[in-house]
Structure 1
């Protein structure tokens, strides 16, 4: 029984505008505009057999209220010129500089038109083969506790665990990394950005959800009603969804 991350789910008032920015930023195609769910994904991406993740922007009526999201995406670059050019292009598309207490750092922190933060990293050797998304980062209080839960929850390979972070990547060694990063910030509102996971072929979603509950996940009611996916939280309260394969 296994689950794999498949979507970075971002909430927005205008899913089309935010989805188009992400598609342009990543060099991916955009689908579903006008339906309340706009996806940015690479050509040929198969959500039923994912080796990386794509971006899914979901329309919601509420604006962002948190000072800083507890999850965000970091973009990879291959040179200083690539980083500078990508930052300039993103600003032209509507991204704005964001200040989250980062100080003097070699990466650039931006926000999409609705204030969802993301980073454009300076060139780093470990991210040369990830594609445009270097990593998905989630703030947490205890990376070791998150490592215990998430390493059992999904089939990605755990690369490193310290008091400061826990890092995974697809077992196939492709696509972005997932990092739970120690942060002093306290969760006060629902996450604006979260992960969606999908079971492997032949695995039963209900059985996977039951397994996650046994690991410490809790059911989450966000008013979703009767839907084919299941909303849960991990032991620190980070929201995530388990999708049905059909």
Structure 2
């Protein structure tokens, strides 16, 4: 029994516009299967994708607060020239430079047109085969705690864990990494960005939700009403959803 991340939910006032931005940023396509804008690899909407973790942009009525998101995307590059070209292209698409206290670092911190922070990384060998999204990064107080919970929750492999950083990746070593970074401060506002998880084929959603509760997940009511997915929070309060197999 296990779950797999199938997409990153990103909330936006203008889901179509933000979806178009991320499609251009990642070199993917924007699909409109309904009210949301789904961003995934070219070639038609494939869900769940066997390798990529897509971005599903969901319309909401409220803008992002000034508080820094505690979940963000890191984008991969293959060379210094690629990094510079990608940053310039993203700024032309509407991204803005932002200061989150990073100081002098080799990566570039930007925000999308609605203020969601993300990083364009300098080339790193570890991310050479991830595709455009190197990692989904979660700020947290205790990476070891988060690694225990998410390592049990997912059908992914724990690759690294320390007091400051924990890393997971799919058991097949494909697609992006999921990383937990020890960060000052605590979560004070709802996540603007979060993961949606899907049971593996043949697994039961209700049983998976019960397993997550036993691991330390907590039920979450965001006014979702009667829906086929279940909203939960992890041990540090980050929201995520467990979807029903289609």
SS in structure 2 opposite 1:16?
helix
SS in structure 2 opposite 1:67?
coil
Q: 2:40, 2:52 within 8 Å by CA — same for their partners in 1? A: no
**CA-CA distance at 1:186 after TM superposition:** 1.2
Q: 1:40, 1:56 within 8 Å by CA — same for their partners in 2? A: yes
Q: 2:9, 2:193 within 8 Å by CA — same for their partners in 1? A: yes
Whole-angstrom distance in 1 between the partners of 2:185 and 2:238:
13
Whole-angstrom distance in 1 between the partners of 2:97 and 2:41:
26
**CA-CA distance at 1:49 after TM superposition:** 5.4
1:238 aligns to 2:238 (yes or no): yes
In structure 2, the residue matched to 1:175 is 175
Whole-angstrom distance in 2 between the partners of 1:244 and 1:225:
15
In structure 2, the residue matched to 1:36 is 35
Q: 1:37, 1:58 within 8 Å by CA — same for their partners in 2? A: yes
**CA-CA distance at 1:36 after TM superposition:** 2.9
**In the comparison of the two structures, how many residue pairs are matched?**
245
In structure 1, the residue matched to 2:111 is 111
Worse-matched range after superposition: 39-48 or 92-101: 39-48
SS in structure 2 opposite 1:92?
helix
- Cα deviation, 1:18-45, whole Å, max 9, x if unaligned, reads 1000000111011017x43101101356
* Change in 2 beyond 3 A, CA 1:50/1:221: farther
Q: 2:76, 2:123 within 8 Å by CA — same for their partners in 1? A: yes
Q: 1:155, 1:171 within 8 Å by CA — same for their partners in 2? A: yes
Q: TM-score, normalised by structure 1?
A: 0.97
Mapping 1:178-193, distance limit 5 Å? 178-193=178-193
Q: List runs of 5+ in structure 1 lacking aligned partners.
A: none
Q: 1:233, 1:239 within 8 Å by CA — same for their partners in 2? A: yes
Q: What is the CA RMSD across the aligned residues, in angstroms?
A: 1.2
Runs of 4+ with >4 A deviation: none
Q: 2:41, 2:52 within 8 Å by CA — same for their partners in 1? A: no
Whole-angstrom distance in 2 between the partners of 1:152 and 1:46:
27
Q: 1:66, 1:189 within 8 Å by CA — same for their partners in 2? A: no
Q: 1:143, 1:181 within 8 Å by CA — same for their partners in 2? A: yes
Mapping 1:154-169, distance limit 5 Å? 154-169=154-169
Whole-angstrom distance in 2 between the partners of 1:47 and 1:101:
36
**CA-CA distance at 1:116 after TM superposition:** 0.2
- Cα deviation, 1:141-177, whole Å, max 9, x if unaligned, reads 0001111111110011100010001100111111111
